[in-house]
Structures are given as C-alpha cells and as structure tokens.
Amino acid sequence: MNAPSVSIELSDGSWTARWRCSDGSRPRYKICRAAGVSRERAKDMFLAKVEQGLVQLQPPAKPAPTPPRETTIGDLIDRWLPILRSDERLKQGTRADYVLLLTSCVRPAIGDVPWSAFSAQRLAEWLDSIPARGSVRNKRNLVSKLCRYALSHGWVTGENPCRSEMVREHVPSRRRGSAMSKPRLTEEQARALLASVDDPVWHLRYLIALSSGLRDAEIAGLRWRSLATHGGVLCYDISSTLARGRRVETTKTESSARLVPVHPMAADALDRWRGVGWREHTGRDPEGDDFILADPDGNPWRPTEVAKRYRADLEKAGLPTRTPTGAPFTFHSIRGTALSWIASHGCAPDVLRFVSGHAATEVCGDYYLAILPMLPAMARAVASIELCDDDDESGPVTGGPFPIAAVRQTAENRQKTTALQEIHRARGPV
C-alpha cells in the first residue's frame, strides 16, 4: 500500500502533520514549536519519527474476528459443580463422591471434548479405556446426569449420547453372578477368620458384620444407645450411619432404618466390650451417645481401606482372598455372606428383607408396627449362624486377646447358646 501524502501545517504556533489514512480518517500529529524551525525541517523531523516507528501513518490492522469458543464437557462440569454442591436433595456423601468423580476422573479424560464432538462413539471409547470395569456404570450414569441437566437447562442442544444403544452395550450389565463368582465365606471360614484376628476393635467389627449383615457405615454409626430390646429381643436400632470424614448421616434409604437382632455371641462380646474393653480402649466409661467402635479418644471412627485390611486378615487366616472366578473379597461382601447364611437357615424372604434393610417402601411407614411380630423369627434366623465350634467342648473360638470376646466363652454362656439353638431346632424353620 502506498504511503499517504503528508502535509505540514501551522496550527497555534506549532508545526502539525496531517495525512489521510486508508480508512478515510485524517490524523493530526504535533511535531514541534514553529519558532526557529522551517516547514521543511519540521517535515524531515516528522518523517524521521515515522521511520523510527514512533508514528504510524496507517491504523493497525484489525484482527480477524475470533469465532466463539465451542462449549466443552469441561465447561458443562464447571457450570454444574456449584449447583451439585448445593443440591440438598442428595446426601452430603453422595455430593462429595460426585464432585470427586467429576474433577478427578471425568474432566481429565473428556473435559476438552467439544459438545458437538461428544458422540456415542467417543463416549464408548472412553468407557472401554477405563481399567476398573466395576466403575464403568457409575461413571456413565454420572455423565448422563450431567448431559441431561445441561440439555434441560438450555446450556447445549442436541441428544444425550449416554442414552445411545451403542453406549449401553459398552457398560457392564448387572447380571447376577453364579455362586462361584460371589465372594462368600463359609461358617467354618468365618470361625477361622475370627480366631486369627488379634486387634480387639477389628475383631468386634467382623463379629458384628458376620452375624448381622450390617453395612460398613451402619456398623461405624452404632452407638451404645443403638442396642435396645424390642418385643423381648435385643436388637441393633439402625437409625444413622457414619460416612467418610466422620460425618453422621441418615441411613442409605428409608427402608435401611430398621431393627436387626443381635446374635448371642455378639451380645456377649458387646457386653464384655462395654464392661471393660471400651474403658481400656478410650480411658473412660462409655455413655449412651458414644460410638461402640470409637477411636482411642472416644470419637467416631470409620477406617479407610477396609477391603485391603479384610483381605490381609483373610490371608493371615489362610483363607482365599478371591473367588475361583477372580472376584475380590471386600468388607461389603461380608454383608452378602451373613444374609446368605440367614436365608439358608430357613428365613422367609419377607423377614430377610427387614433384616437386610431392603423392605418395601409401603411398609416403612408402619415399620415398628410391622416388625415386632417378626422379631422372634428374625432372632432365631440370626442365632442360627454357627460362629462357634461345636466340636470344641470348652467353648466357641472367638479370637482376639481382649475382654469383649475372650478366646473361650464361659460355661454359663456356652449353656445359654446351646439352649437357644435347641429352642430354634424345636421350632423348626422360620
């Protein structure tokens, strides 16, 4: 482009340069005072400044308009996170799990993917790349919630790729495995596990789980006032749970709030733990609001990496840590173990639903009215779990060098257990 012609004019006692730009504008530049300076000299001074780049004869070229950045999955996550954190319809623990999964897993993997390129094929490829196949369904469901919320609030347009049939084919089904694939213990193996555990708190934790089928968070949330007699039956009154971070929360579902009979051996162990063991563990006497399985300071305690600890104790007891099909044993699998034992001892399905906390929703409103007639049958089914060695005349092996469950029961407790078992056999299946 040719340089514009410059005219030097005298204005208010100063030499001023003026020229016409390509966009039609006429800029004005004050060169110097006119006194003692000729017009030619002023023009030379101005052109020198132009050569030095101090003056631009043409306006800078306007940059090409940048197309608007396309919305990515990461943008949707950033908009959804504050809403998710404040959603009171979800439990605090659920919200924390969702936030952790979105920030540590979903965003690093697909956060840079534009919404227009987030197809069912792209989603299926990501799901296939997840090494932990058991978590694929949870991740797909969470991303589906994100997409559904974004679409319903007009953040993006189109279809939810998570609902594609292609994606569903890449998500492991919830098919129930065969008996060989389920991590279950036999009652003989459970006795071996209890006999090998030396830590008093973990021994009691295993004993409660194996004899009741309670969830990990429900066991951690048990307080001394949770032990109550209903209809002449000593029960765990499950009304709260202890989430990670020592947060006391409501039960998983409404039907999870329930009464579960206490096994005779667990009742004896709890009585001993409350009388001596808890005091030695914490340095003070327990109160009703204290947690049964507290830390040494008497505060709520829910251990981390319970699955690793459980498998380590199984290995110590000489027991398998995986099923023949490779499924690992977890602490939650103890729940399935206990419930399968209770069912195998003749517990009716309706009664088993109450024990497990899977009761029908319509029954929950009149729970205590409905549960009282069932408690004796539930207690007989729970007491049928053989956690003692019948061949040992001196008493059942409970393991653990501490007062809650001595290595041998007293003769009096042994007689009580035998009498209860005889009553159960005389009454027959539940």
> For residue 414, what pLDDT is reported?
41
> For residue 204, what pLDDT is reported?
93
- Is the same domain home to 186 and 125? no
- Is the same domain home to 277 and 329? yes
**Mean pLDDT (whole number) for 409-420:** 41
- Is the same domain home to 233 and 109? no
Would residue 271 count as lying in a domain?
yes
**Structural domain boundaries, residue 27:** 6-51
Tell which of 169, 197, 212 closes a domain. 169
**Mean pLDDT (whole number) for 75-89:** 91
pLDDT at 421 over 60: no
pLDDT at 155 over 90: yes
**Mean pLDDT (whole number) for 311-316:** 92
At 174, the pLDDT band (50, 70, 90 cuts) reads low
Would residue 57 count as lying in a domain?
no
* pLDDT digits 0-9 by tens, 237-289: 888 888 766 677 777 666 677 888 899 999 999 999 998 899 999 999 999 99
Buried b (16+ CB within 10 A) or exposed e, 17-26: bebeeeeeee
At 351, the pLDDT band (50, 70, 90 cuts) reads confident
329: Cβ–Cβ under 8 A, 6 or more apart, which residues? 183, 307, 310, 311, 314, 320, 321, 322, 323
Would residue 59 count as lying in a domain?
no
> For residue 109, what pLDDT is reported?
92
- Is the same domain home to 161 and 264? no
CB count within 10 Å of CB 343 equals 17
Radius of gyration of the chain (CA): 37
- Is the same domain home to 15 and 88? no
Nearest to 288, CA basis, from 227, 237, 232: 227
Tell which of 146, 169, 192 closes a domain. 169
**Mean pLDDT (whole number) for 127-155:** 87
pLDDT at 428 over 60: no
- Is the same domain home to 246 and 277? yes
CATH number reported for the structural domain that contains residue 241 in this entry: 1.10.443.10
- Is the same domain home to 20 and 85? no
- Is the same domain home to 185 and 165? no
Would residue 60 count as lying in a domain?
no
- Is the same domain home to 300 and 347? yes
Among 57-66, 145-154, 199-208, 256-265, which stretch is predicted with the lowest mean pLDDT? 57-66
CATH number reported for the structural domain that contains residue 81 in this entry: 1.10.150.130
In three state form, how does the secondary structure of the chain look? CCCCCEEEEEECCEEEEEECCCCCCCCEEEEEECCCCCHHHHHHHHHHHHHCCCCCCCCCCCCCCCCCCCCEHHHHHHHHHHHHHCCCCCCHHHHHHHHHHHHHHHHHHHCCCEHHHCCHHHHHHHHHHCCCHHHHHHHHHHHHHHHHHHHHCCCCCCCCHHHCHHHHHCCCCCCCCCHHHCCCCCHHHHHHHHHHCCCHHHHHHHHHHHHHCCCHHHHHCCEHHHEEEECCEEEEEECCEEECCCEEECCCCHHHCEEEECCHHHHHHHHHHHHHHHHHHHCCCCCCCCECCECCCCCECCCCCHHHHHHHHHHHCCCCCECCCCCECCHHHHHHHHHHHHHHCCCCHHHHHHHHCCCCHHHHCCHHHHHHHHHHHHHHHHHCCCCCCCCCCCCCCCCCCCHHHCCCCCHHHHHHHHHHHHHHHHHCCC
Is residue 357 a contact partner of residue 236, using CB atoms and an 8 Å limit?
no
Would residue 275 count as lying in a domain?
yes
Cα–Cα dist 77/106, whole Å: 9
pLDDT at 133 over 80: no
Both structure tokens of 421? 């078992």
> For residue 255, what pLDDT is reported?
64
Share of the chain above pLDDT 70, in %: 80
- Is the same domain home to 380 and 256? yes
**Mean pLDDT (whole number) for 6-25:** 79
Q: Which residues pair with 247 in a beta bridge?
A: 243
pLDDT at 107 over 50: yes
Cα–Cα dist 48/46, whole Å: 5
> For residue 269, what pLDDT is reported?
92
Is residue 397 a contact partner of residue 407, using CB atoms and an 8 Å limit?
yes
How many Cα atoms sit within 13 Å of 351 on the Cβ side?
A: 22
- Overall domain count for the chain: 3
Would residue 35 count as lying in a domain?
yes
- Is the same domain home to 322 and 407? yes
Would residue 56 count as lying in a domain?
no
Residue at 246: amino acid letter: R
Q: What is the pTM of this model?
A: 0.56
- Is the same domain home to 18 and 131? no
* pLDDT digits 0-9 by tens, 30-72: 888 778 788 888 888 888 888 887 777 777 667 767 777 789 9
How many Cα atoms sit within 13 Å of 122 on the Cβ side?
A: 15
**Mean pLDDT (whole number) for 196-206:** 92
> For residue 341, what pLDDT is reported?
83
Tell which of 169, 197, 225 closes a domain. 169
**Mean pLDDT (whole number) for 23-34:** 79
Would residue 174 count as lying in a domain?
no
* Average pLDDT of every residue of the chain: 78
* pLDDT digits 0-9 by tens, 354-395: 777 765 433 333 444 455 566 777 777 778 777 765 444 433
